[in-house]
Amino acid sequence: MITGWHRLQALLPGWFHGNKHDMSIPAEYPFDFDPTYGMTLVDLQAIRPPEAPPGFEAFWQKRYARALAVKPEPCLSPGKDTHPDWQVQDIVFTSTDNFLIGGWLLTPRKGEVNRGLVVGHGYGGRDQPEFDILVEETAILFPCFRGLSRSPHPPISPDAPWHVLHDIDDPDRYVIGGCVEDLWVAVSALLSLYPALAGHIGYSGISFGGGIGALGIPFDSRIARGHLIVPTFGDRKQWLTLPTVGSAHSVQEYAKSHAEVFENLRLFDAATAAARITVPMLAAVALFDPAVAPPCQFAVANALPKSKFNEIFILDAGHFDYPDSAMQQTALRERVGRFFRGL
């Protein structure tokens, strides 16, 4: 359910006009479908998450217990990037099934480390850490989920259209479940380096990483706050139906000859999982998005339990450039910084 709505209106005057969001939603685009899917903000606000399949919670609780038993044994080495505010280190740790997960660890050059943040990436992977996250006194871990970027693992493809299909016919082996386990083990790795951060760790993820976060956060009590940006994997029925240029397209093609895939994917529905999140959340969702359909994004955001600590931030578009993009991204970045100061 959308909360914090009027507070965001006050924070960002002029972005909202009653029920009409009249800003810079793209009117021209090179797609053969409308990335708003003909839905208004009011329509999107009315979306509710799907019902959970039988055994949903038990499925994820079992996986979490398995991930929690892993000793990540993080190995740090000097990174090639330099920054005046951050010390950059390369990191490798061991996840479930002995997958080696690579990434980066940023720590402040000045001051203490009083918070931890795990940051997930989109399906394009990651080739460097982000230096513009407005947090202080924070150790920031940027893991690359299994099979992607710094965590290659053949035969898992590093390309999104194939990665998303890896072992999709077996819920216990599906790569998306493994990526959620990588998130949990990343938290373990951060805590093994900084035990005093217990109770002060957050997660932020965009697109693919947003979907992974929605699936992982409700089952890991060590994550105290979460931020999801244009999250994918919400409302799998819609995800398998609405036209898209994102990872869902290859699964839609696969489903034409494998109708049973929908039942498997119900266990990996980010909206179903988001309804079980109990910690403060900030979700940023878009009204126009050719890669992650807005109805699927809003299914995740609207599923968050009603709470004065949960907020929804509306973007005009996701995965697409638009006139007010820089202004909205700056406002969101500042809001994210304030949000994680609460860790």
Q: What's residue 306's pLDDT?
A: 84
Which DSSP helix (H) or strand (E) runs through 300? helix 294-303
Mean pLDDT across 53-74: 98
| Host domain of residue 70 | 5-14+29-340
Mark residue 336 as left, alpha or beta (left: phi above 0; alpha: psi -120 to 50; beta: remaining).
alpha
Residue 95 belongs to a domain: yes
Please count the CA atoms within 13 angstroms of the CA of 248 that sit on its side-chain side. Answer: 29
Asked whether residue 238 is assigned to any structural domain, the reply reads yes
Q: By C-alpha distance, which of 203, 221, 241, 12 is closest to 119?
A: 203
In a domain, 19, yes or no: no
Does the global pTM surpass 0.75? yes
Spatial contact of 263 and 53, defined as CB atoms under 8 Å apart: yes
Does 211 have pLDDT greater than 90? yes
pLDDT of residue 12: 33
CB neighbour burial string for 79-90, b if at least 16 within 10 angstroms, e if fewer: beeeeeebebbb
Helix (H), strand (E) at residue 113? none
Quick check: is 23 in a domain? no
CATH of the domain at 187: 3.40.50.1820
The average pLDDT across 189-199 equals 98
Total domains in the chain come to 1
**Does 183 fall in a domain?**
yes
DSSP state of 12: S
Residue 143 clears pLDDT 50, i.e. is over it: yes
Chain mean position to CA 257? 29
Task: Could you list the beta-strand ranges (E) of 75-131.
Answer: 75-78, 86-94, 100-108, 115-120
- C-alpha 218/C-alpha 214 separation (Å) is 7
pLDDT (mean) for 24-47: 94
- Asked if residue 6 has pLDDT above 60, the reply is no
Look up residue 6 and give its amino acid.
H
Residue 217 lies in a domain: yes
What pLDDT shows up at residue 308? Answer: 82
For residue 240, what are its two tokens? 């398998």
Residue 24 lies in a domain: no
**Residue 87 falls inside a structural domain:** yes
